[in-house]
Amino acid sequence: MPRPRLEVADIFRAHGPAYRRANDGHLNLPQLKVMSAIENCRTAALGGHVSACTKCGHQHVAYNSCRNRHCPKCQGAAARDWMQARIEDLLPVEYFHVVFTLPAQIADIAYQNKAAVYGLLFKMSSETLMTIASDPKHLGAKIGMTSVLHTWGSAMTHHPHVHVIVPGGGLSPDGTRWIDCRPGFFLPVRVLSRLFRCLFLEGLTRLHRAGKLRFFGDLAGLADLASFAAYLAPLRKTEWVVYAKPPFGGPEAVLAYLSRYTHRVAISNHRLVNTNGDTVAFRWKDYRIKRGDRMKVMRLPITAMLAVLALERQGLAKNNGPVLVTGAAGGVGSVATAILANLGYEVAAVTGRPETADYLKELGATQIVPREDLAEVTRKPLEAEVWASCIDAVAGAMLGRVLKQMKYGTSVAAIGLAGGAAIEGALITPFILRGVNLLGIDSVLQPYVSRVEAWERIATDLPMDKLDAMVHPAMLSDLPALGRDILKGQVKGRVLVDINA
């Protein structure tokens, strides 16, 4: 396999020092060692050896590997050894691949209590399988299994789940014979799901009563047992996701998949597409697609998130009225609309294309504002107070009009100038009579600590299920036609050009 043009090590070398400074005191020693190992792997920093041809004198320098188990360039042999050892344990029977996934609300608790909650996930998933399998109504046998924890999804978001490889049968209660399950069917997933839900919530409550859970930030109120019980109550009625099917390529295929993560970091070098000062783009697999190509490219720009953070620092509140987003059908406007709606704000989306109304509503907009309603230049010093905040990607006459309609003490985050650099019709009156703030958002020279804050918020606040509608992949050969479509206003969302396609 050819060496990828972009590696995790390249990103660490470029941005690692700034990231460590921004997170000083929050990274533990093992994390710092992993970063250092990946940065120095197969470089002169670790030394190396020289091979030379005795005839022509050609020399080849090979630098030493770091051999860290998290390095995407190392541990290939160790992963193969692990997989071979597991394959040698396989029995000559049908196998099943079972996955237990934690709901998002529990995942938030797990993020702050990793050891306790991940340990509980292992324990309760195995107890669920053994309990149902031992029931004579289902299998009536003692089973064994191999479990591997994943704390992330393909899109690199926090998504704790455990993969289990389990034989389709087990020993009889007296240990004298083997009991096979029905061909192609192991155990009923609905029964597994409900028992897992019950056992896990009971175990989580015990951990809380034993004082083994800690809560911070938005979850701080869960330290109170009554609040914790109320938080868990809706989860007792929802269906928890449990998957159980025979693996398509046999148990060896699943073991090969898991081995890539028992000895590597969450992302391989070959999934990286490109990087700049704003984003890292990488390929991910969308498991919601059942047929065809499931590989997509993830690129999350931070401009929209920087605007939301700026408005929050100015006191943006959910009960103060609608938040206006101009240029809402564009790339940054679409992301801003989705983030604000996901956070629970009432979003009014401005568009000059009526055909994008359904698209904007899908992103979460509750009100569609025709562009012409705000495009006219007026000489009035102020207009009726309407908007609680605004993210503006247009400027020009529209921004001048919006400023006059802002509520007292609110803010506008300016992120673009699609309508021109001048703020036509603007007067000083919104600023001195209503205390309106105009905030400039710059994503190019933004300090690294601010980028990190934005990236962390994007990971939790941008709904990943909206990416399909917002991002449209294209190739370099598509650019001439795309340019014409953009000028005609026929492109919505963000176009992602794959320069390697």
Identify the pLDDT of residue 286.
65
Helix (H) or strand (E) holding 448: helix 448-461
Identify the pLDDT of residue 78.
76
Helix (H) or strand (E) holding 444: none
Task: List, in order, residues 6 or more apart from 109 with CB less than 8 Å away.
Answer: 117, 204, 213, 215, 219, 222
Output DSSP code: residue 320: S
Identify the pLDDT of residue 2.
61
- The packing angle between helices 250-262 and 76-88, to 10°, is 140
Alpha helix locations (H) across 405-447?
429-433
Identify the pLDDT of residue 371.
93
Q: Tell me the two tokens of residue 246.
A: 């025979």
| Angle ∠(124,126,107) on CA atoms, nearest 5 | 45
Identify the pLDDT of residue 3.
67
As a whole number of Å, the CA-based R_g of the chain is 27
What are the phi and psi torsion angles at 460 (to 5°)? -105, -25
Task: List, in order, residues 6 or more apart from 183 with CB less than 8 Å away.
Answer: 94
Task: List, in order, residues 6 or more apart from 292 with CB less than 8 Å away.
Answer: none
Please tell me the distance from the alpha carbon of residue 84 to that of residue 78, in angstroms, as a whole number: 10
Please tell me the distance from the alpha carbon of residue 359 to that of residue 355, in angstroms, as a whole number: 8
Q: How far is CA 252 from CA 61, 72, 150, 385, in A?
A: 37, 22, 18, 64
What are the phi and psi torsion angles at 416 (to 5°)? -165, 175
Please tell me the distance from the alpha carbon of residue 498 to that of residue 486, in angstroms, as a whole number: 18
What are the phi and psi torsion angles at 285 (to 5°)? -105, 125
SS3 285: strand
Q: Tell me the two tokens of residue 75.
A: 């541990």
Among 427, 424, 366, residue whose Cα is nearest residue 396 = 424
Q: How far is CA 447 from CA 86, 199, 306, 322, 392, in A?
A: 47, 46, 11, 30, 22
Please tell me the distance from the alpha carbon of residue 65 to that of residue 77, in angstroms, as a whole number: 13
DSSP string, 148-172: EEEEE-TTSSEEEEEEEEEESEEE-
SS3 68: coil
The CB density around residue 14, as the number of other CB atoms within 10 Å, is 14
Identify the pLDDT of residue 88.
84
Is there a contact between 131 and 170 (Cβ–Cβ < 8 Å)? no
Among 206, 234, 203, 286, residue whose Cα is nearest residue 105 = 234
Is there a contact between 157 and 463 (Cβ–Cβ < 8 Å)? no
Beta strands in 374-436 (DSSP E): 387-392, 406-414
Q: How far is CA 272 from CA 4, 6, 413, 452, in A?
A: 8, 6, 32, 19
Please tell me the distance from the alpha carbon of residue 202 to that of residue 205, in angstroms, as a whole number: 5
SS3 167: strand
Residues lower than pLDDT 70 in the chain = 1-4, 155, 248-249, 260-261, 263-265, 276-279, 286-301, 448, 467-468, 471-472, 496, 498-501
Please tell me the distance from the alpha carbon of residue 219 to that of residue 205, in angstroms, as a whole number: 15
Identify the pLDDT of residue 285.
72
Is there a contact between 325 and 418 (Cβ–Cβ < 8 Å)? no
Domains of the chain with bracketed CATH? 8-63 (no CATH), 76-263 (no CATH), 284-501 (3.40.50.720)
Edge-to-edge strands of the sheet including 280-285?
272-275, 280-285, 295-298
Task: List, in order, residues 6 or more apart from 12 with CB less than 8 Å away.
Answer: 35, 38, 39
DSSP string, 168-218: SEEE-TTSSSEEE--TT--S-HHHHHHHHHHHHHHHHHHHHHTT-----GG
Burial of 156 (0-12, 13-18, 19+ CB in 10 A): middle
Please tell me the distance from the alpha carbon of residue 16 to that of residue 8, in angstroms, as a whole number: 11
Q: Tell me the two tokens of residue 130.
A: 């053994």
Please tell me the distance from the alpha carbon of residue 233 to that of residue 229, in angstroms, as a whole number: 6
